[in-house]
RNA sequence: GUGGUUGUAGCUCAGUUGGUUAGAGCACUAGAUUGUGGUUCUAGGGGUCGUGGGUUCGAGCCCCAUCAUCCACCCCA
């Protein structure tokens, strides 16, 4: 067999020891905040049944699901007519019954329905696992990436929404981000706007178009709205709403008058007011919470029914680093009615890229070996083994250089692995029982008993 | 799915109007220093120039195809 150049699939990455230290720092920070707010961790399988996932993310989303080919002779069951027709879509369901999870929310909904008799409502869970999307990769976009989700089902209180805002604020602040904005909108307000214009059936097209405002400008939005079937008069009504500005309170007042005839719209506004009120009372005093009511915030997922969240860093040009919202009907698709849920997600990989770009990773990461014992020959090695054991019994991360080698090489090894201390054991040390402890940072070296070394390193 | 970018050593990249034996830095190995790393100096190993075809006396360079890559759009974390 010919030697082949190794490679990994497009949009996937290896993570080095150094990168893992940084990634775990992000995961641990986010997880501890989740726990602090009463969320418990679960995990679900990497793959779900294909029909669990299809139809939940819209047509665009379905295309991005990674399907898993059935094992064995997967074409045997497909009828000759279908093979002849060569219609990929109709054959897919026959040759693939599993798929890699696309997000953590739908598997969570599936979990809740399957375990509904075992979980106490309201159920607050968090989940940190990779998801896969068959996207074209680009900056900040990968085919395999981690999401950190927290969701609660079985509670329609807006207190949950308020706490999610605080979780965003606390977790991202803890990670060292100083300037980020949490955008909030409400699907009911969007519905209300579509109602007022008289095109409630076009709400999706409307929200997708106005979502692009800051990217393509008002002219672009108008152009797209016209293409989607809105009339000139509709757009005239829409314009002032889209261009809404001022403080959050001012925006709410203006929206109230615009949406006066829409029951749904007014309900959305009432929800926002309650939410802002909760946040005001819950937030840490003096915290620089940047919260913005953004009426153009839509987000693609069609299952949001209430609040919609999105978080963006103002310091780095990057897509959103988090998002979420309320979905009233999610478990309904799996036969469990009237269960409301709300959740948020952190995009760990994008947060990594942002922290890297801003140089915000802490330098004092202490996840390497604490002390290396040198190895000159068989005799010294034998002498070192009980010492190695003692160090480890005292909870000190220690390693013995696994074979005799030149000291230069062993010190280089310690240096490249950033091991802070090296114990040198030669004939002199073996005779006296005093071991040479070298501090790799200062270069200083002193002779100590093992007990002293342990005290020094603990 | 659409448009563009770039493919040369393990990594980051030079390589002139097409011309002899394709270079540098970093990394690696060895030595200067037989028990002292990070700085320095010296030497060394390492290349199907993404792949296939074409033009030419001659191609890393020009042409075609193909694959990969990154970026942007769509959409999204």
ipTM of the predicted structure? 0.84
Asked if strand B contacts A89 at the CB level, meaning under 7 A, the answer is no
pLDDT, residue A366, reads 62
Asked if strand B contacts A337 at the CB level, meaning under 7 A, the answer is no
In this structure, are residues A213 and A321 in contact, taking their beta carbons and an 8 Å threshold?
Answer: no
Q: Which nucleotide is nearest to A430 (CA to C1')?
A: B35
Percentage of chain A lying above the pLDDT 90 cut = 53
d(CA A33, CA A40): 11
Pick from A85-99, A242-256, A318-332: least confident: A85-99
Asked if strand B contacts A323 at the CB level, meaning under 7 A, the answer is yes
Rounded (5°) CA angle A379-A381-A387? 120
Q: Give the pLDDT confidence of A21-34 residue by residue, as tens digits.
A: 889 999 999 999 99
Q: Domain map of chain A by residue range? A: 17-38+109-358, 47-100, 368-457
In this structure, are residues A127 and A104 in contact, taking their beta carbons and an 8 Å threshold?
Answer: yes
CATH architecture of A17-38+109-358: 2-Layer Sandwich (3.30)
Distance from CA(A452) to C1'(B41), angstroms, rounded: 40
In degrees to the nearest 10, what's the CA dihedral of A24, A125, A144, A417?
10
Asked if strand B contacts A215 at the CB level, meaning under 7 A, the answer is yes
Domain A368-457 classified CATH 3.40.50.800?
yes
Provide the 3-class DSSP secondary structure of residue A82: helix
Q: Give the pLDDT confidence of A98-112 residue by residue, as tens digits.
A: 999 999 999 999 999
Provide the 3-class DSSP secondary structure of residue A55: coil
Strand B close residues, chain A 382-411, CB < 7 angstroms: 406-409, 411
Strand partners, A99: A48, A67
Chain B positions with an atom below 7 A of a protein C-beta are 1-3, 28-31, 33, 35-38, 48, 68-77
End-to-end CA distance of chain A: 52
Distance from CA(A456) to C1'(B36), angstroms, rounded: 21
Residue at shortest CA–C1' distance from B34: A406
Q: Which residue has the tokens 């009463």?
A: A38
Rounded to an integer, the average pLDDT of A105-126 is 94
Indicate the pTM of the whole model. 0.89
- Non-local (6+) Cβ contacts of A56 within 8 A are A102, A106, A303, A333
Q: Where are the beta strands (DSSP E) in A277-358?
A: 291-293, 307-313, 322-327, 341-347
Length of chain A: 458
Phi first, then psi: give them for residue A264, nearest 5 degrees: -60, -45
User: In the predicted model, is pLDDT for residue A58 greater than 70?
Assistant: yes
pLDDT, residue A2, reads 46
Distance from CA(A410) to C1'(B25), angstroms, rounded: 26
Asked if strand B contacts A137 at the CB level, meaning under 7 A, the answer is yes
Distance from CA(A408) to C1'(B32), angstroms, rounded: 14
Distance from CA(A256) to C1'(B6), angstroms, rounded: 53
């Amino acid at each position: 067999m010919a030697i082949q150049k190794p490679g990994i699939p497009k949009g996937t990455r290896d993570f080095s020891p150094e990168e893992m230290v940084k990634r775990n720092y992000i995961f641990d920070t986010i997880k501890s905040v989740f726990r602090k707010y009463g969320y418990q961790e679960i995990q679900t399988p990497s793959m779900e049944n294909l029909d669990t996932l299809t139809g939940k993310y819209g047509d665009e989303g379905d295309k991005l699901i990674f399907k898993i080919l059935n094992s064995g002779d997967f074409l045997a069951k497909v009828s000759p007519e279908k093979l002849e027709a060569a219609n990929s879509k109709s054959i897919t369901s026959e040759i693939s019954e599993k798929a890699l999870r696309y997000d953590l929310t739908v598997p969570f909904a599936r979990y809740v329905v399957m375990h509904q008799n075992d979980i106490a409502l309201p159920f607050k869970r968090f989940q940190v696992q990779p998801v896969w999307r068959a996207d074209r990769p680009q900056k900040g976009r990968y085919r395999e990436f981690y999401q950190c989700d927290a969701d609660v089902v079985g509670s329609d209180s807006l207190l949950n929404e308020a706490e999610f805002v605080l979780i965003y604020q606390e977790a991202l602040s803890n990670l060292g981000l100083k300037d980020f904005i949490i955008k909030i909108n409400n699907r009911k307000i969007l519905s209300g706007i579509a109602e007022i214009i008289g095109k409630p059936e076009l709400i999706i097209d409307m929200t997708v178009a106005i979502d692009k405002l800051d990217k393509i400008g008002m002219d672009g939005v108008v152009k797209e709205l016209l293409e989607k079937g809105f009339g000139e008069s509709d757009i005239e009504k829409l314009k002032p709403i889209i261009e809404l500005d001022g403080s959050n309170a001012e925006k709410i007042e203006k929206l109230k008058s615009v949406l006066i005839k829409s029951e749904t719209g007014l309900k959305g506004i009432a929800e926002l007011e309650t939410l802002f009120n909760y946040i005001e009372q819950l937030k840490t005093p003096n915290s620089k919470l940047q919260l913005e009511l953004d009426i153009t915030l839509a987000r693609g997922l069609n299952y949001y029914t209430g609040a919609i969240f999105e978080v963006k860093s103002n310091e780095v040009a990057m897509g959103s680093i988090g998002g979420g919202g309320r979905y009233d009907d999610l478990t309904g698709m799996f036969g469990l009615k009237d269960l409301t849920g709300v959740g948020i997600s952190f995009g760990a990989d994008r947060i990594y890229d942002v922290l890297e770009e801003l140089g915000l990773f802490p330098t004092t990461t202490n996840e390497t070996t604490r002390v290396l014992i040198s190895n000159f020959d068989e005799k010294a090695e034998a002498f070192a083994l009980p010492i190695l054991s003692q160090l480890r019994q005292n909870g000190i991360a220690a390693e013995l250089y696994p074979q005799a080698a030149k000291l230069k090489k062993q010190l280089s090894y310690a240096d490249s692995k950033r091991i802070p201390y090296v114990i040198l054991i030669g004939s002199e040390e073996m005779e006296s029982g005093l071991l040479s402890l070298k501090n790799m940072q200062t270069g200083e070296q002193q002779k100590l008993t093992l007990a002293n070394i342990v005290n020094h390193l603990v």
